[in-house]
């Protein structure tokens, strides 16, 4: 504990940095609480280092608390808007676009299996596709391929 109090500015800066890393890397920037506290701890550490704030534990805790509230009040709205502007488009995997020839007919009622890359995939189609037709994977889910017939021009 002596090390922490003797190096209060540096300790707060490191603690703040650790909280920011946890918020971004571990929690994926989903809760902003650790971000606000980490940012406040880093600013308090910088203010202590420069000599603007007195080098005391009570003063640094008070400053960190006040700065946390200020950062939360100022940054909450913009961060929430940033978080809600996520592109809903699904990521396309390597399996989308894979083409093959059906060995069995597929329809909304029939979902035969197709063995590919060491996995048995259930084939899903919204329309009847006869056996022998060349098809393309349009979407890949866990254990299932959504397929459609490809055009043969």
Residue 92 covered by a domain: no
Per the structure, the count of domains in the chain is 2
What is residue 97's predicted lDDT score, i.e. its pLDDT? 87
**Distance separating alpha carbons of residues 80 and 151, to the nearest angstrom:** 45
Are residues 50 and 9 located together in one domain of the fold? yes
Are residues 63 and 34 located together in one domain of the fold? yes
CA angle 108, 111, 115 (to 5 degrees): 145
Residue 94 covered by a domain: no
The boundaries of the domain holding residue 39 are 2-84
- pTM greater than 0.85 (yes/no): no
**Distance separating alpha carbons of residues 80 and 90, to the nearest angstrom:** 21
E strand spans, the chain: 99-101, 113-116, 119-124, 134-141, 144-149
For residue 139, CA distances in Å to 4, 109, 122 come to 54, 18, 12
Q: pLDDT, tens digit, for every residue of 73-114?
A: 999 888 888 877 766 666 567 788 889 999 999 988 888 999
Q: pLDDT, tens digit, for every residue of 36-74?
A: 999 999 999 999 999 999 888 899 999 999 999 999 999
Are residues 73 and 129 located together in one domain of the fold? no
**Token representation of residue 106:** 């597929």
Are residues 127 and 73 located together in one domain of the fold? no
**Buried b or exposed e, range 66-96, using 16+ CB within 10 angstroms:** ebbeebbeeeeeebeeeeeeeeeeeeeeeee
Fill in the DSSP letter of residue 151. Answer: P
Are residues 7 and 79 located together in one domain of the fold? yes
């Amino acid at each position: 504990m002596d090390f922490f109090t003797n190096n209060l500015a540096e300790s707060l800066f490191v603690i703040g940095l650790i909280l920011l890393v946890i918020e971004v890397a571990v929690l994926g920037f989903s809760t902003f609480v650790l971000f606000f506290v980490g940012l406040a701890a880093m600013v308090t550490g910088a203010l202590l280092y420069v000599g603007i704030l007195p080098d005391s534990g009570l003063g640094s805790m008070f400053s960190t608390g006040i700065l946390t509230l200020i950062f939360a009040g100022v940054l909450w709205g913009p961060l929430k808007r940033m978080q809600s502007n996520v592109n809903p488009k699904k990521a396309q995997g390597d399996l989308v676009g894979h083409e093959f020839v059906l060995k069995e007919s597929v329809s909304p009622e029939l979902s035969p299996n197709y063995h590919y890359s060491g996995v048995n995939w259930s084939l899903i189609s919204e329309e009847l596709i006869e056996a022998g037709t060349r098809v393309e994977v349009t979407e890949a889910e866990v254990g299932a391929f959504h397929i459609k017939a490809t055009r043969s021009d």
